[in-house]
A and B are shown apart, each in its own frame.
Chain A
Amino acid sequence: MSEPVLSIENLSVSFSSRRGVARVVDGVDWEVHPGQTLAVVGESGSGKSMTVLAATGLSPRGAKVGGTVRLRGEDLGAMSEVERRRARGRHVGFVYQDPMTSLNPVMPVGRQVTEASEEHLGLRGDDARSRAVELLDMVGIPSPEQRVDNYPHQFSGGMRQRVVIAMALANDPELLIADEATTALDVTTQAQILELVESLQERLGTAVVWITHDLGVVAGIADQVAVMYGGRILEHGTVDHIFGSPGHPYTQALLAARPQPGVRADRLATIPGAPPVPHQLPPGCAFYPRCPVRGDERCRTEEPPLTEIAPGHRVRTFYRAPHSGIERPAS
């Protein structure tokens, strides 16, 4: 297989406060290859955003970050802040949930789309403008020659997100990181954006890390899936592993909690309680307090290791139920 575009190893992020130390990301490993999509899925606060922020050197002040991150094989931790910023600007594009966090309200969108390329590729004047038109066209903005001079407020939410994608792709990055990029959009607009990203990825070979809490979106776009909970990866595998034979009680419970199309069951399966708060993580398995399985005392006191249960399919549990019934792994 090709070399990963981004690989993270044993990544951890913690914050200290009066309430104690919060380990919001703990022992996270994954990698993403050219042309592939890794979906990072989990409920709010599970550490999805913090993982990619820390991995790209953008974690907030006060965060203590550990582990190794390689971008195109190069150790980001060994670089100076300036080198890291340059590597990020040159090779990584970001798309966040709210397009206005990436857009300047008082600058024409065309200028914004190529601003980074002006810096990194030395693009100027008419060249920059025609590149902006080309990029807006590529992301499906109608009449880009006119729209290039418009301001963000003249665009709808879906069109602004397209502009942000154009901006993220301006430098032909090898990696696109999208954090809940379609969460605030209507399903019809979401479908347009997902199709756009897939076709660009096919054409340009971009690697994509797609962060979301929407399992439907994951099923549609992912090659690999990492399921996060309480700052850890509880399960990691191909999209078919995760949806076809989920091995972690949490993944199974999450999939069962969604209404099934055409079924209209009387009651939905539920997970009791709520996700944990990071400075009060349980000592054993993070899911223990809500877990329907709770095999034995170890679940409460010991953190289960991430164990490979099939090639490329890893699960962090002492007890797994591949298809039906509970199976105890040899240990």
Chain B
Amino acid sequence: MTTEHGAVKTGDVVARVEDLHVHFSVSRSAPVRAVDGVSLEVRRGETLGLVGESGSGKSTTGLALLRLVDATGGRVEVGGQDVTDWSRRRVRSLRRRVSMVFQDPAASLDPRLTVGASITEPLIVHDLAASRDARRSRVAELLEMVGLRADMADRRPHEMSGGQKQRVGIARALAGEPDLIVLDEPIASLDLSVQAQIMNLLRGLQEQLGLTYLFISHDLAAVEHMSDRVAVMYLGRIVETGTPEQIYRNPAHPYTAALLSAVPTADPEAERRRRRITLHGDVPSPVNPPSGCRFRTRCPAARDNCATTDPELYEVEPGHRAACLYAVEAVEEMRAGAATTP
């Protein structure tokens, strides 16, 4: 395997999806093409950030890695093994190797269970601690790893703050010493002052334990901060991948450029000078995405070709790929246009 970029940690591939399709059939109508041809790989020790607007297929991609949704096409590989068609029983062992942290820490913990019992659950399911004593000391160890006192084990979720509950969610995800943790909007429901705590915790754990993350978020600043590589999704596809520097400094796909230009920054001076590339209209329905380039109905740089040719991801510079027929050029054109559009 060739390494994509010098600056990137280049471990072996922990998980990979290839031409993944996840279509949901709702009654007899045409299926929702939630994920519609996604290929990506996550390498040991890295954080791959996945960004995109609501409904672009980020969570569904993450869920497919744990086989919490089934692929309707393509392949899911974990640790070099094709797990796409694994039986339900084998899938249980998969969920030790790939675990997940969800957005809403309250909803992902059983309100009736103590924190200790919640963390013990994966230890029992995966047969990781033989005795009660072993389990108890492992729970204490996990709580400490996520910055909670061991006596928190006796608390119930309603006695904890949102940030503390999210720490418990992370402790649960760590229990099986997974190869990959899918973090689905792990800070989105937390207070501003608590988000930084959780991001620091995740970074620290990664350094300490050599963890690998798929960090799913619609918060572009958080993704830039957390990720070694970033993939941008739009309507069931990845439209651009690269390092944070490449994506944030030199976006090559018009969608990425527009998305970034819409993020407000906490700097009134910069906001006064800001030139937004305003996207018109709404994201089209994933039931029948536009022909050719999926972004063309909102793309300020679209031309005739875009309706007929479905662009593939191609390399614009080492380690940086974009799925646009006129990548780079289109972004320059939009930027020039943004100066004049009110």
Contacts and interface: CB of A to CB of B under 8 A. Distances in A.
A and B associate: yes
Interface stretch (B15-23, B135-143, B190-198, B308-316): B190-198
B193 A254 contact: yes
A142 interface: yes
Contacts of B222: 259
A210 B267 CA distance: 17
B296 to A, nearest CB: 16
Contacts of B264: 187, 190-191, 194, 214, 216-217, 219-220
A274 interface: yes
Contact of A186 (B54, B192, B270): B54
B196 A268 contact: yes
Contact of A267 (B203, B220, B265, B266): B203
B194 A188 contact: no
B96 to A, nearest CB: 30
Given A43-B192, A267-B200, A269-B196, A258 B53 contact: no
B266 A215 contact: yes
Interface in A119-142: 142
> Is chain B's binding surface mostly helix, strand, loop or mixed?
helix
Contacts of B196: 257-258, 268-271
Interface stretch (B70-78, B173-181, B276-284): B276-284
Nearest to B272: A220
Given A186-B54, A191-B276, A257 B193 contact: yes
Interface stretch (B106-114, B116-124, B255-263, B286-294): B255-263
A254 B192 contact: yes
B274 interface: yes
Given A43-B192, A258-B221, A268 B263 contact: no
Of the four ranges (under 10, 10 to 19, 20 to 34, 35 or more), the interface on chain A belongs to 35 or more
Contacts of B271: 219-220
A264 to B, nearest CB: 6
B266 A195 contact: no
Given A43-B191, A243-B268, A188 B262 contact: yes
A162 to B, nearest CB: 11
Interface in A244-261: 244, 253-255, 257-259, 261
A275 B163 CA distance: 11
A216 B263 contact: yes
A35 to B, nearest CB: 17
Contacts of B161: 274
Given A187-B220, A270-B200, A261 B265 contact: yes
Given A219-B270, A255-B266, A268-B196, 15 more contacts: A156-B282, A159-B282, A188-B259, A189-B282, A191-B262, A194-B264, A219-B267, A219-B271, A259-B225, A261-B221, A261-B224, A264-B225, A264-B244, A267-B200, A274-B161
8 contacts: A43-B191, A187-B264, A189-B282, A243-B267, A243-B268, A258-B221, A275-B191, A275-B193
Closest 4 CB pairs of A and B: A216-B264, A259-B225, A191-B262, A268-B196
Interface of A: 43-44, 142, 156-159, 186-192, 194-195, 213-220, 222, 239-240, 243-244, 253-255, 257-259, 261-262, 264-272, 274-275, 290
Interface of B: 53-54, 161-164, 191-197, 199-200, 203-204, 218, 220-222, 224-225, 244, 248-249, 258-259, 261-268, 270-271, 274, 276, 278-279, 281-283
